[in-house]
Structure 1
Amino acid sequence: MAKRYELTDEQYEQIKDLLPGKVGDPGRTAEDNHRFINGVMWVLRSSAFWRDMPERYGNYETTYKRFSRWAKKGIWEQVFKRLLKDPKNAYVMIDSTLVKAHQNATTGKKGAMCQALGRSRGGLTTKLHMLCDALGRPLKMHLTGGHCNDCTQAETLLEGQRAQAVIADKGYDSNAIRAFIAKAKMKAVIPSRCHRKQQIPHDKKLYKQRNRIERLFGTLKQNRRIATRFDRNDSHYMAFVFLACALIWLTS
């Protein structure tokens, strides 16, 4: 029986063929992928130091090195993307959330800007930008520094989407974003900023669904490794985000 915050055998069966180390793959066959992912999930939920990982998950140094290697190769992202099946795209939602950076995240070899860290009113932060479907399930995400304006990231999130409407808060109210949405033949459900001379009406009933992306951020931040950024390397932080998002799809 799986312990709390571990993959069940049924959940692991759904992803085992998406992971490296299968018979026939280059390199050594990884027979312990299930145990390895459970170890990473323990760090994701607890945000403890890798060296504090329980021995039942294996050697912490080996686990960390494999986690880092998979992050650099984009394997966590690949697993997440291959779990995206039958998204409910009657409408999509975009938003962002600020994540405070722990002092451990500020001592990387590269500069803070290179690792998606920036100064905002909350101090040194990173910003997680997200696109989700009508059921509040994650579809696309990326990181910027905390000082980055939401408007600048909207087109990247919406690129290639085929939905009937886009729901976003007034932080995304710009003529450029509205034009981009209209060009993609989608309806913008975005309240006007108070300083806009001519207020643009929006579907208030549909706008109420925006709480789903807020709840999505709440679910993700139940993982302490996401609620606070401890990782110096942005690819490591995003690896945890991709894993947490994959788990949402596994349980949806």
Structure 2
Amino acid sequence: MGAKRYELNEAQWVKISPLLPGKAGDAGRTAADNRLFVNGCLWVLRSGAHWCDLPERYGKWKTVHRRFSRWCHAGVWERVFTALTADRDNQYLMIDSTIVRAHQQAAGGKGGLKNQALGRSRGGLTTKIHMLADTLGRPLRFIITAGQAGDVTQAPALLQGQTGEAVLADKAYDSNALRAIIADMGATAVIPSNRTRKVIIPHDINVYKQRNRIERCFCRLKHFRRFATRYDRRTSHFAGFIHLAAATIWNQ
């Protein structure tokens, strides 16, 4: 678990370091240990271990955890991720979602399950991660909801302000309202028709095959254990880990 493979290499650090707070000229204290801190957060993200198991080389775990929390609330991780997505490929936009199990320690967050995007079902506590991806299947935007939330309900927010030639999604997103939103974008809806439709709406089968890229992206993201399983009580902390994992995909 303490292997260096969890840490940023030199090329990755050079790319991400200008996006972090604490640089010379920034307001507040200069953070000379940003690299060590980010590597410590990556260690927890990848390993799925408790914060208290953080190796000593990263510093006192309570200090690292407190700083991670501050960056989550300040939106630092999301801003870093957003900055890295500037070099996107917008020919196709893809939307999909995945359900992750929430560990029992994720229950009991302030505001109850609803306010912390947790749902309860036969399988236990779950959270759903809704994602927008570019042509290459790289993540562009996330929305976190309780596990029972419908996929199509979050699609308009994922697509808001986006442009592309086509939007690819599976039949769970087949709705007239969403198709109208996509048409207003000037894009083509590449979505298979649900069986309940009386008149089947054709879609480009060859283009639709590209949708497997967003599925592969979810598989890559789930190599980060704190993405694959939710351990965090606060949604803001879980979102911080999601954006850090996504930033790592863009920073390779």
Secondary structure of 1:85's match?
Answer: helix
Alpha-carbon distance in structure 1 between the residues aligned to 2:182 and 2:17: 38
Structure 2 partner of 1:230:
231
Runs of 4+ in 1 over 2 A off after TM superposition: 119-123
Range moving further from structure 2, 201-210 or 120-129: 120-129
Q: CA RMSD in A?
A: 1.1
Equivalence map 1:58-97=2 (5 Å): 58-97=59-98
Structure 2 partner of 1:18:
19
Structure 1 partner of 2:7:
6
CA deviations on 1:116-146 (whole Å, 9 max, x unpaired) are: 1113453321000000001011111110111
What letter matches 2:8 in structure 1? Answer: L
Structure 1 partner of 2:107:
106
Q: Is residue 110–residue 234 contact of structure 2 (8 Å, CA) maintained in 1?
A: no
What letter matches 1:250 in structure 2? Answer: N
Q: TM-score, normalised by structure 1?
A: 0.97
Instruction: Give 1:86 deviation, angstroms.
Output: 2.2
What letter matches 1:78 in structure 2? Answer: R
Instruction: Give 1:25 deviation, angstroms.
Output: 1.8
Alpha-carbon distance in structure 2 between the residues aligned to 1:51 and 1:78: 27
Equivalence map 1:48-197=2 (5 Å): 48-120=49-121, 122-197=123-198
Alpha-carbon distance in structure 2 between the residues aligned to 1:20 and 1:185: 38
Structure 2 partner of 1:47:
48
CA deviations on 1:130-173 (whole Å, 9 max, x unpaired) are: 00001011111110111111111110011111100000000000
Alpha-carbon distance in structure 2 between the residues aligned to 1:142 and 1:121: 23
Alpha-carbon distance in structure 1 between the residues aligned to 2:190 and 2:26: 46
Alpha-carbon distance in structure 1 between the residues aligned to 2:90 and 2:20: 27
Alpha-carbon distance in structure 2 between the residues aligned to 1:83 and 1:61: 29
Alpha-carbon distance in structure 2 between the residues aligned to 1:120 and 1:157: 25
Task: Work out the number of aligned pairs and report it.
Answer: 250
Q: In percent, how many aligned pairs have the same letter?
A: 60
Alpha-carbon distance in structure 2 between the residues aligned to 1:35 and 1:69: 16
Alpha-carbon distance in structure 1 between the residues aligned to 2:14 and 2:143: 28
CA deviations on 1:199-227 (whole Å, 9 max, x unpaired) are: 11111111111110000000000011010
What letter matches 2:152 in structure 1? Answer: C
Instruction: Give 1:247 deviation, angstroms.
Output: 0.7
Q: Could you tell me which runs of 5 or more consecutive residues in structure 1 were left unpaired when the two chains were aligned.
A: none
